Amino acid sequence: MTLIKSISGIRGTIGGKIGDNLTPIDIVKFAAAYGTFIKQNIRNRKTKIILGRDARTSGEMLSMLVTGALAGIGIDIIDIGLATTPTTEMAVIMEKADGGIILTASHNPGNWNALKLLNQNGEFLTDEDGKNILKLIEDFDNKVSFAEIYDIGTKYATADYTQKHIDAILKLKLIDIKAIKDANFKVAIDCVNSVGGTAIPLLLKALGVTQIVEIYCDVNGIFPHNPEPLPENLTELANIVKNKKADIGFAVDPDVDRLAMVCENGEMFGEEYTLVAVADYVLQNENGNTVSNLSSSLALKDLTEKYGQTYFAAAVGELNVVTKMKDVNAIIGGEGNGGVIYPKLHYGRDALVGIALMLSFLAKNKMKLSQLKKNYSEYFISKNKIVLTPSINIDNVLTYIIDNYKDKTLQIITIDGVKLIFDKQWIHLRKSNTEPIIRIYTESRTQQQAEELADMLINEIKKQFNIK
């Protein structure tokens, strides 16, 4: 079984059995339930939904199924075709649509796909809205009905939203096209043969970059390597940056909401530092708060406080980060996986705006990326998990940790699992929503210290709860 239903959508591997994998029946039911939910809040007018997709080979099939399901319950569909996730989010805003569906499984392998659901603001659904859609699916036969012949929806196709997205980026005050053009950057990009292969070259050319070294920019959905933009998957890009004497390398995931960078010497900049570097540029030009999730590096907190501003932590998940950003009026935020959220464009992780801000930063400060990295506090993260037996209550484990460490830490945060904060290091424990595991992330000033911190806690939990 790979099918995962959550408040933000549905994902799984293509094919297999209904209810176990992502089959046409599951796709149609989920799309129709989402459409029904959207229609319940619309009165006396036709409902309009944006549909976009990454380049996965299953995407066209999913698009036809989703279009049919939405039209069948009386919703008009604006199909923007192959588009990045942030482009689809912005299309909802520009079209003043009632919602949106993105067909992408993000960094998952090519046999996966998913329906990600947006509200009328181009943002992911709230917990309450997502739960209401799941209730509709549970009682689908009684809660979902389809339109009669003269009330079915119409599909409209348009393919110009990538350019509209880029145009909006170019209008931002902090994007300095002249400085970028004068810098005469040579930029290498790895777009993993998905929609970034169209969007990123268009963006770079619009910014005045004429030297672009492209690898895996064929928009065919055949991923040449694991599509998650982690260092171990970007060795080819790193070699090309160094051998071709490029100034910087950019890598994105299939739907282009995560951004990783490679320094001019072929070394990884580190995905945790993408947000830190972009925030540095923004904070140099604007006063305001910053936000990242609880599993992100302390480097953003250190940087924010250096500028005399305030850092806030949010629960893991883009929706939670966005909610916190709005609450504290943050000027920049995101997640440590390379997700940059710049509210002056929109409230969504956006690798395209991240690229534009980074190039402006480097051009105006006349710096190499490797030099920039040295300006930030150096931290290292270790990511681990404990598989639990059915007899162990995860909440009991978290309660034990709180009780045992309440006098040993600087602070304990419980808004998302348990985060233990020490001096310049932390441990974050979260229970998985889909597996009987506890995720344990640690951060410290060296990789060895981060791993030792994780091992210490893992061994303690295993001993206390008799886990082998």
Number of H helices and number of E strands within the chain? 16, 20
Marked catalytic residue, from 8, 58, 106, 194: 106
Sign of CA dihedral 218, 222, 227, 233: negative
| Residue type present at position 258 | R
- Taking the C-alpha atoms of residue 174 and residue 23, their distance in angstroms, rounded to an integer, is 44
Give the Å distances, CA to CA, from 360 to 82, 181, 264, 349: 27, 10, 16, 18
Give the Å distances, CA to CA, from 27 to 19, 101, 217, 299: 10, 12, 28, 41
Q: Is 217 helix (H, G, I), strand (E, B) or coil?
A: coil
In 3D space, the residue among 103, 101, 21, 25 whose CA is nearest the CA of residue 62 turns out to be: 103
- Taking the C-alpha atoms of residue 300 and residue 323, their distance in angstroms, rounded to an integer, is 18
In 3D space, the residue among 337, 324, 425 whose CA is nearest the CA of residue 378 turns out to be: 425
In 3D space, the residue among 26, 19, 96, 92 whose CA is nearest the CA of residue 58 turns out to be: 26
- Taking the C-alpha atoms of residue 353 and residue 359, their distance in angstroms, rounded to an integer, is 10
Do β-strands 418-422 and 411-413 pair in parallel, antiparallel, or remain unpaired?
antiparallel
- Name the helix (H) or strand (E) containing 89: helix 85-95
Give the Å distances, CA to CA, from 308 to 255, 283, 301, 439: 35, 10, 11, 33
- Taking the C-alpha atoms of residue 289 and residue 444, their distance in angstroms, rounded to an integer, is 24
CA 375 to chain centre: 26
Residue with tokens 């079984």: 1
- Taking the C-alpha atoms of residue 248 and residue 261, their distance in angstroms, rounded to an integer, is 7
- Concerning whether 297 is annotated as a catalytic residue, the answer is no
| Residue 122 DSSP code | S
Give the active site residues: 106
